[in-house]
Amino acid sequence: MTPPRVIFFLFITVISTVAAAVVVVGQEFPAPTPYPVDRYEAGWNTNPFTLKTAAVATQKESFAKDLVLGSMYQVGLETTVVLVNAKTRERIRIVSTQADPNGMRIKSANILNSRRDSYAEIEKDGEIAILRYDDRLQKQLAAQNQVASNDPNGNGNPNAAAMNEAAAAAAARGQPVQKPPGAMGNNSANPNPNPNADITPLPGRNTPPQRRRLLTAPRSAPAPRPAPAPMPPPPSQ
């Protein structure tokens, strides 16, 4: 059986809850304050199909992304650099005294004893690219030139004539010709030339030592064989 005191407290709690609910229902709920119309006019008058999309920033490709160093040589004070397009195999010849038709210019050319250390700095529109030799491409080009030289309808090295003309002009003026590393002289006139005969030492470097050549003694002709002795006459009958 529930004690009378507990029943009394439950009764008071129910009466208080009902009275509070009656008071809340009797009060009027205030309406929210509206925003001004100009808050929404900007969105109403904007057509998303007329908005201009910001242009996507595209990274500018380097002018020398497909170029490698083909050859370079110096005649007097004039330096010539030949570039090769690794994809199209096109050759571009640039002279230090002027820019090529595409606007490329030689900033510096470092012709060292080693092809690996040699490089050229080419400038175009303010961009500077350092180009080096590509040994794999050089081997492919050398093989193509060899096939072209054996073919009567083939084409040889397109830069050979220009290099020979420049060397001849420099020789006529008495100027030294600095050839690219690994280049040799013309072997057509002398079948066994001195490999160091036409090497000009670079500024600040000593004269390269002369290489020794192995000389083979000529073989002497074998002595003639003696003639056979005549046959004796037959005995008389």
Domains of the chain by residue range = 67-150
d(CA 106, CA 97): 9
Residue 67's pLDDT is what? 93
Residue 186's pLDDT is what? 47
d(CA 161, CA 172): 16
d(CA 234, CA 123): 101
d(CA 167, CA 8): 125
Lowest mean pLDDT among 59-63, 115-119, 125-129: 59-63
Name the range with the highest mean pLDDT among 46-50, 89-93, 182-186: 89-93
- Can you point out the beta strands (E) in 18-95? 67-75, 78-85, 91-95
d(CA 17, CA 28): 19
Enter the tokens of residue 136: 């794999």
Q: What is the DSSP letter of 159?
A: T
Short-list 71, 165, 159, CA closest to 118: 71
> What are 173-214's pLDDT values in tens digits?
666 555 555 554 444 444 445 555 555 555 555 655 555 555
Q: Is 227 helix (H, G, I), strand (E, B) or coil?
A: coil
Whether pTM > 0.85 for this model: the answer is: no
Short-list 141, 161, 157, 147, CA closest to 89: 141
